[in-house]
Copies of this chain bind each other. A is one copy, B any other.
Amino acid sequence: MADSAMTVRYAVVVTIGVFLLKSCSGEETDIKLDKKAQLLHRLDSLNLLLYTFLLILTVLTIWTFKHRRLRFLHETGLAVIYGLIVGAIIRYGFTNSSTIVHMPVVPEPDGSHYNQSVPPDTLWLRFPESKGDGTTKNKTFAYSFRGEIYKRDNEIDLKATFDPEIFFNIILPPIIFHAGYSLKRKYFFRNLGAILTYALIGTTISSFVIGALMYTFIQLIPHLASSFTFLDTLYFGALISPTDPLTIISIFNDLHVDVNLYALVFGESVLNDAVAIVLSGSIQNYAERYQSGSGGFETWAFFQALGDFIRIFSLSLFIGATMGCVTALLTKFTRVRDFPLLESALFVLMSYSTFLIAEASDLTGVVAVLFCGICQAHYTYNNLSVDSRQRTKQLFELLNFLAENFIFSYIGVSMFTFPKHHFDPGFIFAGFFCALLGRAVNVYPLSFLLNLGRNPKIPSNYQHMLFCAGLRGAMSFALAIRNTVSDARQAMLTTTSLIVILTVILQGGATTQFLSWFNIPVGVDEEVEVLSYNGVRSSAGDGGFGDPESRRERSPTYDSMQGGSLSMGGSTSKTNEKALLARIWGNFDTHYMKPLLTHSRPTLLDTLPVCCGPLARILTTTQQMTQDNVARRVDSDSDLCLEDRDTDRRRTSIQPVSYHQPDLNYTNNPCYSHNGSAPSNSEEPYVVLNFTQK
């Protein structure tokens, strides 16, 4: 190693005495390179500083808005607007004083035996360096591949952008994990049927409808028709279909919108991100396979793509769930909880490695990390020490907040500074129209179909709200910016950025207005809802589970048994089927998964057949056997909803309106009094009545 390094050593002879500082350390070129590296480092720092300041500005403005109870603009909208302003300043405020020097090169004439069809990964440039004594010496410098060149770019433009991979490896994982970790599983599972329908079927339908419509549009515009294929527009459909819950959910949180609507909106957004990323991956895979084929519609390639979709989705889900369970086992069977810092570190590392494992196996890290988050909340969370519970929740909440606002600032800034935008009015107009239509095609027909099978129907005002909650956000942008090699992709990026910006600002800003237009009940207390819901249930002859507390104690599977649908006495066969499936899973979860993975009761000793006694004994901890009923109740409770109490605390800390106040309504809510139309809602009873009054 030393020998080979010797060959390139450049030596400057210095032989004067010890303390006499004498000629010269390194050569001129090296020092210039050092200076250049310093300059680049400074630009990097400036670049990061820009976004840090944007975020600080956003935080301070959000605070002002919250403080003054202004609700017309949400923090993500603010981040985008600040980003746009700063982006415009960078673009038009600075003169084009490009300091990047480029040199056109050609392959070395002799000895160049490069014959591949792709450009090489690195170029080696032999560069003559003049030495002090007038002679020159050749050095070889390496250059690594960056991408295709379309035009000369302003350096600061380049500088205010980040490698798109950063979004996928650094920014998205905490956002998605947080979504899974903070999911209110009780209401999520209760509405699982509807959520899955919207997310899986709805997103797919929406993608294909948008793809087809866009393709039709494009045929009408000659200069576009040549650059877009159907696969391109289909890809656009897939990337523009997922909705972003941030803005809506945070307003829902502030206003305590009915939890079932909350669950529908949030659950769908979380899952359709996962669906969209897998779908777009499958479309790309199809394109690749197709490319190597003979042309024409290839049934085989189509089914391969379908198989890809199913394989990638389920394998990613499997990896996520497995890693979640492994973490649960690790935290259950080691006493690492004695050292909360180690425990938290382990939790974070295991969760991040889930993402990386999936990505390294060519699966989808986002899907894996989402289901990992759900499993961590469902199992591991119960094993953690109090310190780690709090620490992990607070950590991911903060990371999520910073990552979200960063991505929205970036969307704003990059609108002006990202060099690979392509503004095409026709495509942009078509994109907006199709995005709206795609959302409608997702929500209304599926709600109609769902309402055929479920008894507490999804009322039409909820459907309108679901439609209006279809903001586009981080995932669409990340997918669009990931690949900008072709002109078509660049037009897609521009259109996606614009759709994200406008929906976040306009739809996000109008959310409270929508809520009052559609008469959506707000200020609904979670506990109250549960009570009335339960009351209706029992009056429909479903058993005498009047008191929720005693009910939970008697049957820990109560809530999982309700999973799948808002079944309310009227029991069509479909409802029964779903309930059956949910009940089977609920039973399995309570009897085998949770005793295995957490310290909950009943233990495996109680649930496994006698022949498995020794195994069960190994898998049951002392803590599990010795804990009393109180501990068990808390455990099973926290399990339902990631500790309602903590969530409440966080809520109240964000929105200092008393939350458990049972008579909280529109008119009492100071932030609403200026909305005019709101008080009409104040007399409405809570959600279930609202469900049935239609």
Contact = CB atoms under 8 A, between A and B. Distances in A.
B34 A485 contact: yes
A140 B148 contact: yes
Given A22-B296, A45-B169, A348-B402, A124 B108 contact: no
A231 B19 contact: no
Contacts of A59: 336, 342, 345-346, 349
Contact of A6 (B348, B360, B390, B487): B487
Given A25-B232, A119-B127, A120-B103, A56 B350 contact: yes
Contacts of A577: none
Given A14-B230, A22-B297, A352 B52 contact: yes
Contact of A290 (B21, B35, B144): B21
Interface string A108-146: 110110101111111111110110000000011111111
Contacts of A93: none
A334 interface: yes
A649 to B, nearest CB: 9
A103 to B, nearest CB: 4
A44 interface: yes
Interface in A24-64: 24-26, 28-36, 38, 41-42, 44-46, 48-49, 52-53, 55-56, 59-60, 62-63
Given A30-B486, A169-B45, A25 B231 contact: yes
Find the residue from A19, A46, A298, A653 having the highest chain B CB count within 10 A: A653
Highest count of chain B CB atoms <10 Å: which of A12, A56, A232: A56
Contacts of A139: 119, 148
A66 interface: yes
A344 B42 CA distance: 27
A398 to B, nearest CB: 6
A31 B390 contact: no
A295 B114 contact: no
A461 interface: no
A311 B649 CA distance: 48
A353 interface: yes
A102 B123 contact: yes
Contacts of A114: 101, 103
A165 interface: yes
Interface stretch (A80-88, A419-427, A465-473, A599-607): A419-427
B295 A24 contact: yes
B11 A227 contact: yes
A617 interface: no
Interface residues of A, number: 160
Nearest to A10: B486
A43 to B, nearest CB: 8
A581 interface: no
Nearest to A146: B142
Interface in A62-80: 62-63, 66-67
A18 B120 CA distance: 37
Contacts of A653: 338-341, 387
A170 B119 CA distance: 32
A424 B2 contact: yes
A288 interface: yes
A288 B35 contact: yes
Interface in A451-506: 483, 485-487, 490
A677 interface: no
Contacts of A141: 119, 145-149
Contact of A395 (B32, B102, B394): B394
Could you say how many copies of this chain the assembly holds? 2
Contacts of A449: none
A490 B30 CA distance: 14
A427 to B, nearest CB: 10
A604 to B, nearest CB: 24
Interface string A311-348: 00000000000000000001000111011111011101
A2 B46 contact: no
Task: Select the residue from A109, A219, A356 with max chain B CB neighbours within 10 A.
Answer: A356
Interface in A252-308: 284, 287-288, 290-291, 295-298, 302
Interface string A628-650: 00000000000000000000001
Contacts of A656: 338
A53 B341 CA distance: 17
A6 B223 CA distance: 10
Contact of A106 (B109, B150, B215, B485): B109
A133 to B, nearest CB: 14
A483 B28 CA distance: 15
Contacts of A348: 398, 402
Given A149-B140, A345-B55, A49 B356 contact: yes
B398 A345 contact: yes
A143 B141 CA distance: 11
A225 interface: yes
Given A216-B18, A231-B25, A356-B49, A123 B140 contact: no
25 contacts: A2-B422, A7-B150, A8-B487, A9-B486, A21-B231, A22-B230, A23-B229, A24-B290, A24-B295, A25-B229, A29-B118, A36-B118, A42-B359, A44-B165, A45-B365, A46-B360, A49-B356, A56-B349, A60-B334, A103-B124, A106-B109, A142-B149, A338-B653, A391-B394, A395-B395
Given A24-B290, A341-B401, 10 more contacts: A2-B422, A8-B151, A9-B486, A18-B216, A29-B119, A44-B169, A45-B356, A67-B335, A102-B120, A122-B143
3 closest A-B pairs by beta carbon, nearest first, are A143-B143, A45-B359, A49-B356
